[in-house]
Structure 1
Amino acid sequence: MAIPQLSSAQLESARAAATEARRARANLKEQVKNGDLSFTDALNKAVDDDTLSRIKVVDLLRAMPRVGVTRASEIMENLQIAPNRRIRGLGRHQVVRLTELFQ
């Protein structure tokens, strides 16, 4: 299957949309990092938003204060969540266990 050829206006629109999506995801992680938003609130917000649901779970965990690479990996392993899992790919039981952990 051939890759479709996009016009320069379509390319610019796609670039702008991608930039806005990255900013929205970075903003959510920054709010969690600063303590403006709890992990549970961020998780619930991300589940309902198509753009935010593409954040990797491990990245959202690492945005938490006092959670680094090692602790995030341990949490993911203990809750049996794959390291490359995104928020939209979480099962309902995994979401419940994550929210219980950070309440």
Structure 2
Amino acid sequence: MPTPIPPLTPEQPAEALAKAARVRKERAEMLAALKAGRVSLLDVLDRGDETARQTRVLSLLQAIPGIGTVRARRHLIDLGISETRRIQGLGERQRERLVKLFPPQS
């Protein structure tokens, strides 16, 4: 028999909502910086924070200038990466192939 979920204090849902809003904002800023060319794909992949690690690879590819939904999905298929894969779940070879496909601009 599953254990019952303990009741939440009134502050806990508010804290969770605030954290979710902060993470969404950070993710949007990170992807906007990638789209604007202020950061490279490698910069985002090397970030160690939770926001970057939890970002879906599909969203990441779609933020690269010139890559839309269709091309991003084709690249994922070619690389053998699931559309639902997050950055933290990428294998070393998958990371290397992504960086090789989209090298940092000098």
**In structure 1, distance between residues paired with 2:74 and 2:101:** 13
The amino acid of 1:97's aligned partner reads: R
Where in structure 2 are the equivalents of 1:78-97 lying within 5 Å? 78-97=78-97
Q: Which residue of structure 2 aligns with residue 55 of structure 1?
A: 55
**In structure 2, distance between residues paired with 1:66 and 1:86:** 21
How many residue pairs get aligned? The number is 101
**In structure 2, distance between residues paired with 1:24 and 1:3:** 30
The answer for unaligned runs of 5 or more in structure 1 is: none
Q: Which residue of structure 2 aligns with residue 14 of structure 1?
A: 16
The answer for unaligned runs of 5 or more in structure 2 is: none
Q: Indicate the structure with greater helix content.
A: 1
Q: What is the CA deviation profile of residues 48-80 of structure 1, one whole-angstrom value per residue up to 9, with x for unaligned ones? A: 112221110000000111000111011101111
Per the normalisation by structure 1, the TM-score is 0.91
**Following superposition, which runs of at least 4 residues in structure 1 exceed 3 angstroms of deviation?**
none
What is the root-mean-square deviation in Å for CA atoms of aligned residues?
1.1
Rg larger in 1 or in 2? 2
Q: Which residue of structure 2 aligns with residue 28 of structure 1?
A: 30
